[in-house]
Amino acid sequence: MPLILRHGADSRSSSIHGEGPLQAHTRGLARTSVLWGEPAHNALDLAYSTSLIGSNEVIKTHFNDHSKCRGQQQNSTFVSPGEENVSGHASTTADGNAISKDEADLNATDKTEQVATELCDDVDVQKEVVRRKIPEYPPFVRELVREAKDLLRKRGEATAMKRFHSFLDRMEDSPARFQSFEAAIRMFLREGCPMAAVTCYTRMTAEGFICPISLQAQMTVISLANRSPSPEEFFALLETWFQNNRYNERALQDMLFLIDDAISKDPAFIDSVAKLYLRCKRPGYSFTRETISWLVYVHARAGSKSSAIEWLDSSRHAAASSPGPYTSLLRFMGDSPVDEELYRWIVARMQELAIEPDLPFYNAVMSTEFAMKKYDNAFEVYALLRGSAEPMTTPDARTFAMLFRALRDMSQPRSFLTRAIERPRRAPSPRQLYQDMLRCHLKRTKNKFEGVLSATSLIPAIRVFLERRDYAAAFVVLKTMLQCDVPIDLVMYQRVLSPLMKRLKHELPLLAVESNPRSFWSYRFLGLASAPTRQPPTYNMPILDMILRIGMVSRLSLAYVAPRLNLAANPPLEETRSGFEAPAGSSRMYDEFPSARPTKDGSAPIDYEASVKDFRAHEMPSTLEVADVVDSDLYKAYSAVPVERILRRAILADRPASILAAMKEVNGELATAKEQMVGDLGFELSGFSTRKRKPRYVSFSETREPSRSGRKASGGVDRS
């Protein structure tokens, strides 16, 4: 039977001749992308985390203690190996079904969850954990390929290819052209777009450049697979390349990644390729740690953990004596009896070979504990890592992303059967955890390691504070995001506004029945004391419009800000369309808009440009864009000043009535939050920027006027 080439993430076949058994097994599978919560084991945390400060006897004691309790933990919830968890945390409660309708609707409709990973290039996707990084290129080439990758993820393959080739048409430097071609081909292959890579390769060779042997081999394999070859033809071609003395193991790794992305995910098929490579090399040749880790990952992902053990034979593969392969296997551990035996084998094996755990190993352990709701064990590991004197084991961005997601999960509202989870004894408060993150960032950067402050860690942090209604802390995180050049785009606006709308949705119906509505945050935040009518507003699209227009007002106060959406009717919440939490859906809502631009759901067109004029003047998305009513660019950068103003007003609405000036009240709250979250680290962080090519120096008290340059408009605190 012929082999099939899968194109991109949608896994569509280019062959009409049928599928072989391996291809039928993998057809239709998108590329695996599991984010935080990989199933590993629930006992390995203390067992090996104590090796940082303890002895083997301590390890055995912890292991035995946890093993005795495993019979009581068989009902723990975890993510299955083949299942995606895009939002980064388990959304199922302990009873499996006891989730209110509002909570279920919120989880289903919050599009910020669906795009959470697309803002961050360094999120902890399992596949990327075991893959080596792309070779180092000059800054100019890296920036070019990064922009092409952003376009590929956000607007599709055609747009990315058009922009990349258009840029090449204007480039004259031959060395830069060669490096750009090579880097782009590697990027397209790793993003699961083999035909885009072939297009770049064709142009590269037509211009007289000679590709590295690794890329040459991958291009010939893609070309052959596109013609639906038999397995014999396919392996004959691979054998020809493997026998070339210049075809090293790094080239083999690229080939294995390509096969997994575009041809077959079956572990038996990938095993056949790896074993063919070994047969083509000298007797006694063994794979490196990276290759062994990848092979173990492929087997564990498919559920064939017993087969993965075959690649962990240290007598045949010296790389099996490193923690990487065991980390790959640990990520997919569950609660079955087979996993129990496998867990015992991993512990005994690592102790026997005196393998010292590394940070990815600990991250895998904590991810497992969080996914199984055993927070005490996970925070115990974190406490040991935080206290470690070794820079290599200092928590990184992925560690803190897990921790903040765990805190957010612990604070989520639940049914009466699954009440809020009590904070573990070793778990820090969210503000203290944020300061820990800053300290770990400084510690890692001083020792020449990758820093912690990035979109990977900061986005989960700001969401925790917003969900906990700690708006002052969220403001501090926002300022750090500006220092790190995290874009304040439409998705970020939705992330900030969604918790506010959720709170309004809960409180607004209570205003009509309470004798003292002034005691409610919603009453003060919307400025209803000075509203033209005493009738409490209904939760609908004008509420979202009011919040956004608060961001247009430079003077901080609790004065009423009127909406400007003239809607014919306000639909009930049950009729809202999927998307942002704001009620944004019934076609009746657009009856009074002039016809100009159709909405996403096919309802009556609206005069889009007229509706966004005010918002564009303040460099912010419109109400219709935030509500996801019209098609819009999710990643267009906007000014951060409106978000800052909205958060300041949210802080003021949480304060009791006072004779102090509004700005003084809010600044006092921000000063307290900054002291608790930043502490004495402010001076060391004052010159920090994650982008070396354009350093920015933004302090938490800096004043910056809104500019009209997109992302650069995101700095500063509104002091008016």
| Tens digit of each residue's pLDDT (9 = 90 or more) over 289-305 | 888 888 888 888 887 77
Instruction: Give yes or no: residues 463 and 501 share one domain.
Output: no
> Could you tell me which residues come within 8 angstroms of residue 356 by beta carbon, excluding any fewer than 6 positions away?
51, 323
Residue 219 maps to a domain: no
Residue 547 maps to a domain: yes
Residue with tokens 């909205």: 646
Most distant CA pair in the chain, distance: 87
Q: What does the alpha-carbon distance between residue 592 and residue 565 come to, in Å, rounded to a whole number? A: 10
Instruction: Give yes or no: residues 576 and 702 share one domain.
Output: yes
Instruction: Give yes or no: residues 503 and 568 share one domain.
Output: yes
Supply the pLDDT for residue 183: 87
Q: What does the alpha-carbon distance between residue 377 and residue 392 come to, in Å, rounded to a whole number? A: 21
Instruction: Give yes or no: residues 704 and 616 share one domain.
Output: yes
Q: What is the DSSP string of 189-225?
A: HHTT-HHHHHHHHHHHHHTT----HHHHHHHHHHHHH
Closest CA to 49 of 389, 378, 344: 378
Cα separations (Å) of 438 from 148, 314, 689?
Answer: 31, 39, 13
> Could you tell me which residues come within 8 angstroms of residue 570 by beta carbon, excluding any fewer than 6 positions away?
538, 540, 541, 542, 583, 589
Supply the pLDDT for residue 317: 62
Q: What does the alpha-carbon distance between residue 223 and residue 219 come to, in Å, rounded to a whole number? A: 6
Last residue within a domain, chosen from 468, 499, 523: 468
Structure tokens at 322: 């490193």
Q: What does the alpha-carbon distance between residue 577 and residue 109 come to, in Å, rounded to a whole number? A: 8
Structure tokens at 332: 């997919």
3-class secondary structure, 125: strand
Strand partners, 489: 637
Q: What does the alpha-carbon distance between residue 41 and residue 366 come to, in Å, rounded to a whole number? A: 9
Q: What does the alpha-carbon distance between residue 354 and residue 545 come to, in Å, rounded to a whole number? A: 61
> Could you tell me which residues come within 8 angstroms of residue 158 by beta carbon, excluding any fewer than 6 positions away?
none
Instruction: Give yes or no: residues 457 and 553 share one domain.
Output: no
How buried is 680 (Cβ within 10 angstroms: 0-12 exposed, 13-18 middle, 19+ buried)?
exposed
Residue 180 maps to a domain: no
3-class secondary structure, 499: helix
Instruction: Give yes or no: residues 702 and 631 share one domain.
Output: yes
Supply the pLDDT for residue 65: 42
Supply the pLDDT for residue 608: 59
pTM of the predicted model as reported, rounded to 2 decimal places: 0.67
Q: What is the DSSP string of 154-200?
A: HH-HHHHHHHHHHHHHT---HHHHHHHHHHHHHHHHHTT-HHHHHHH
Q: How many CB atoms lie within 10 A of CB 227?
A: 13
Q: How many CB atoms lie within 10 A of CB 176?
A: 16
Q: What does the alpha-carbon distance between residue 669 and residue 677 come to, in Å, rounded to a whole number? A: 12
Residue type, 258: L
Instruction: Give yes or no: residues 524 and 453 share one domain.
Output: no
Q: What is the DSSP letter of 711?
A: G
Q: What is the DSSP letter of 248?
A: -
Q: How many CB atoms lie within 10 A of CB 279?
A: 11
Residue 318 maps to a domain: no
Structure tokens at 299: 């087997």
Supply the pLDDT for residue 641: 94
Go through 145-172 and write b for each residue having 16 or more CB atoms within 10 A of its CB, e for each that does not: beebbebbbeeebeebbebbeeebeeee
Q: How many residues does the chain have?
A: 720
Residue 231 maps to a domain: no
Structure tokens at 226: 């596109």
What residues of the chain score a pLDDT lower than 50?
7-125, 129, 567-598, 601-605, 689-720
Q: How many CB atoms lie within 10 A of CB 3?
A: 25
> Could you tell me which residues come within 8 angstroms of residue 326 by beta carbon, excluding any fewer than 6 positions away?
296, 312, 346, 349, 350, 355, 361
Supply the pLDDT for residue 665: 87
Structure tokens at 669: 């709250």
Instruction: Give yes or no: residues 417 and 516 share one domain.
Output: no
Q: Are strands 12-13 and 6-7 parallel, antiparallel or unpaired?
A: antiparallel
Instruction: Give yes or no: residues 573 and 685 share one domain.
Output: yes
Q: What does the alpha-carbon distance between residue 4 and residue 223 come to, in Å, rounded to a whole number? A: 11
Last residue within a domain, chosen from 415, 438, 468: 468
Q: What is the DSSP letter of 587?
A: G
Instruction: Give yes or no: residues 363 and 442 share one domain.
Output: yes
Q: What does the alpha-carbon distance between residue 462 and residue 387 come to, in Å, rounded to a whole number? A: 25
Supply the pLDDT for residue 33: 26
Cα separations (Å) of 614 from 450, 563, 618, 619, 717?
Answer: 41, 12, 7, 9, 21
Instruction: Give yes or no: residues 536 and 639 share one domain.
Output: yes
Residue 280 maps to a domain: no
Q: What does the alpha-carbon distance between residue 210 and residue 174 come to, in Å, rounded to a whole number? A: 12
How many CA atoms lie less than 13 Å away from 299 in the CB half-sphere? 24
Q: What is the DSSP letter of 36?
A: S
What spatial distance separates the first Cα and last Cα of the chain, rounded to whole Å? 71
Task: Give the distance from CA 244 to its chain's centroid.
Answer: 40
Residue type, 121: D
Residue 426 maps to a domain: yes
Instruction: Give yes or no: residues 507 and 460 share one domain.
Output: no
**Domain assignment of residue 649, given as a range:** 490-714
Residue 368 maps to a domain: yes
Backbone angles phi, psi at 12, to 5 degrees: -75, 145
Tally of domains within the chain: 2
